[in-house]
């Protein structure tokens, strides 16, 4: 995995402030863990209201933290006045997402001026073991002329 | 689009009961609208706690209802004693998911004994207009030996 | 499906000339059929040297014409001095690609200034019947400063 | 990356014989390089008739060897009397596939009784340098009742 040099020294603060603006991450109880150049981890502790019909984490919840981890991994490498949007992602749910906590790790696979490709993995922590439960790829776009917050009305 | 003949006459009740067991859909405030053979619509009214950093619906929330709509579209065609899991999906977020409500429509593209392929679209309703904001494809697997509820402990 | 208005009146000639520059399409024996605003069909007659180990069309050959059909569908809507590259695509191979001929149809799902999202379907023609054998989604990028031919050395 | 234990000691011969039955790989001039448990490399030397309109390797050719590398990576872990089909794959084309040779590496990410998830990367070798030009994920299915060759007529 290549080492990345962020162009904005304050990338971590920028990522943490943006994450804090995501109402959805707060609703799910997701927490931003690791924030490094080209890598972001997001944790999601188990709750009954995050489940699908079998009692596992819902694929949509798994996807939500995976997408955010991938997006913010890319965002660590963006300049200060830009913002990030997900163009598309693909996720394979390779095992039931069962456990006390999910951890999604997003990593930049290929940075770019317009498009940045990220990969992500989600592991479920259960009884001290780590099980890979999802993996995927995402395409992120950098918006250069767009601050990372809602437009003023 | 082909017409599908469900093998279980009570498919609608089965889908609605399964949806009601999804803690995640309740958390988001998602509602099951249309349930037809090979088609399911899920609606998600706007709330501040479903957003990403710009104030749009979070891509993960869009994905969550899209995945569920696709999965339940497949499930309408499954036999009574089976259950459904998402193998993988891919979603393109083609426009900002901004508006009063999202509607995800899942449709069976190719039913199968083991795997069922579904497509989905998500439209955002805003000021009386409908804007396509996401589309994708999902692979669902039928579990024949698995009831659609949590295992007893 | 929306109707599209091409910005370049000579879009068909531009697409046909570009297709003719694709050595790979010639190698496979693929033929450009329909070229309409936002839609392109590519046909691939069966040959033994297009197969996988069971004697069906190889998934890679199916993908090759699907990708080209999607890319050229997008390219019909691009301005004259631009070129098109595939950012990514996802394909589901939903039935064995068996028959006398494959026909890949690419359609623009969402045009854009930078990115254009296309969907595609591939049907196999066999004994007068048409069977859907693949479907997918692709993200195309418009290169505005890049002619649609090899760079001079 | 986990180490895999093949259930069939003759996995390499089985993969090489299957590859030799793929007319499409022969047409492209692709060569099977590394065959290890859970990993397969396929090389594709440059030829003018493998190109798209800019003179790079066509995305469909890149995809064809990536798909085959992923499928055969999975197949190394299958039992002797089974066969493998691609359910779906997703590929990101992250840089122009320009160079003397492409090398696609497929690796098993998650083996399974029915479905096996593989990841792949394609690098282009150019003037002694290796450039990542594509990466992706594929879902493979094991056919237990299906020999790995054409059905007798």
| pTM for this model (two decimals) | 0.96
The tens digit of pLDDT for each residue in A56-105 reads 999 999 999 999 999 999 999 999 999 999 999 999 999 999 999 999 99
Length of chain B: 153
Q: Which residue has the higher pLDDT, A15 or A145?
A: A15
Show the tokens assigned to C151: 């760079």
* Nearest-by-CA chain B residue for C108: B94
Half-sphere exposure (Cβ direction) of B71: Cα atoms closer than 13 Å: 30
Show the tokens assigned to A68: 């955010």
ipTM above 0.90, yes or no: yes
pLDDT at B146: 78
Residues of chain C with pLDDT > 90, as a percent, come to 89
pLDDT one digit per residue (tens) for chain B, 153 residues? 568 999 999 999 999 999 999 999 999 999 999 999 999 999 999 999 999 988 899 999 999 999 999 999 999 999 999 999 999 999 999 999 999 999 999 999 999 999 999 999 999 999 999 999 999 999 999 998 777 887 664
pLDDT at C152: 60
In terms of phi and psi (left: phi > 0; alpha: psi -120 to 50; beta: otherwise), the region of D129 is beta
CB B143 within 8 Å of CB B85:
yes
pLDDT at C2: 63
Beta strand residue intervals within chain A, DSSP E:
31-36, 39-45, 83-93, 101-110, 115-126, 129-143
pLDDT at A152: 60
The tens digit of pLDDT for each residue in C22-70 reads 999 999 999 999 999 999 999 999 999 999 988 999 999 999 999 999 9
**Can you give C77-116 as a three-state secondary structure string?**
CCCCCCEEEEEEEEEEECCCCCCCEEEEEEEEEECCCCEE
Chain A residues touching residue C92 (CB < 8 angstroms): none
| pLDDT at D145 > cutoff 90 | no
Contact call for B59 and A65, based on CB within 8 A: no
Show the tokens assigned to D62: 């890149």
The tens digit of pLDDT for each residue in D79-130 reads 999 999 999 999 999 999 999 999 999 999 999 999 999 999 999 999 999 9
pLDDT at D146: 79
C91 closest CA partner among C71, C49, C119: C119
The H or E element containing residue C72 is helix C59-75
| pLDDT at A2 > cutoff 70 | no
What's the mean per-residue pLDDT of chain A? 94
Chain D residues touching residue B115 (CB < 8 angstroms): 87, 141
* Nearest-by-CA chain A residue for D116: A94
Contact call for A64 and B68, based on CB within 8 A: no
Chain A residues touching residue D92 (CB < 8 angstroms): 109-110, 117, 137, 139
User: Rounded CA gap, A97 and B24, in Å?
Assistant: 13
What's the mean per-residue pLDDT of chain C? 94
User: Rounded CA gap, B139 and B117, in Å?
Assistant: 5
From residue B84, how far is each of A51, B28, B67, B149, D137 by CA, in Å?
14, 21, 12, 11, 22
pLDDT at A116: 98
| pLDDT at D22 > cutoff 70 | yes
* Nearest-by-CA chain C residue for A142: C114
Contact call for C137 and B94, based on CB within 8 A: no
Show which residues on chain C lie within 8 Å of chain B, measured between beta carbons. 90, 92, 94-95, 109-110, 112, 117, 119, 132, 135-137, 139
Chain A residues touching residue D89 (CB < 8 angstroms): none
User: Rounded CA gap, C88 and A80, in Å?
Assistant: 27
Chain D residues touching residue C45 (CB < 8 angstroms): none
- The Cα angle at residue D26 between residues D24 and D32, in degrees rounded to 5: 105
* Nearest-by-CA chain B residue for A151: B54
What's the mean per-residue pLDDT of chain D? 94
């Amino acid at each position: 995995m290549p080492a990345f040099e962020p162009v904005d020294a304050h990338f971590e603060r920028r990522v943490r402030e943006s994450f804090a603006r995501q109402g959805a991450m707060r609703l799910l109880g997701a927490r931003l863990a690791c924030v490094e150049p080209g890598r972001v981890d997001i944790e999601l502790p188990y709750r009954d209201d995050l489940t699908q019909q079998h009692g596992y984490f819902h694929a949509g919840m798994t996807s939500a933290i995976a997408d955010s981890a991938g997006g913010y991994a890319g965002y660590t490498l963006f300049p200060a006045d830009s913002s990030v949007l997900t163009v598309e992602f693909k996720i394979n749910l390779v095992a039931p997402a069962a456990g006390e906590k999910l951890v999604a790790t997003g990593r930049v696979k290929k940075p770019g001026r317009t498009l940045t490709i990220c990969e992500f993995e989600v592991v479920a922590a259960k009884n001290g073991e780590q099980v890979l439960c999802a993996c995927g790829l995402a395409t992120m776009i950098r918006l250069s002329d767009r601050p990372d917050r809602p437009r003023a009305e």
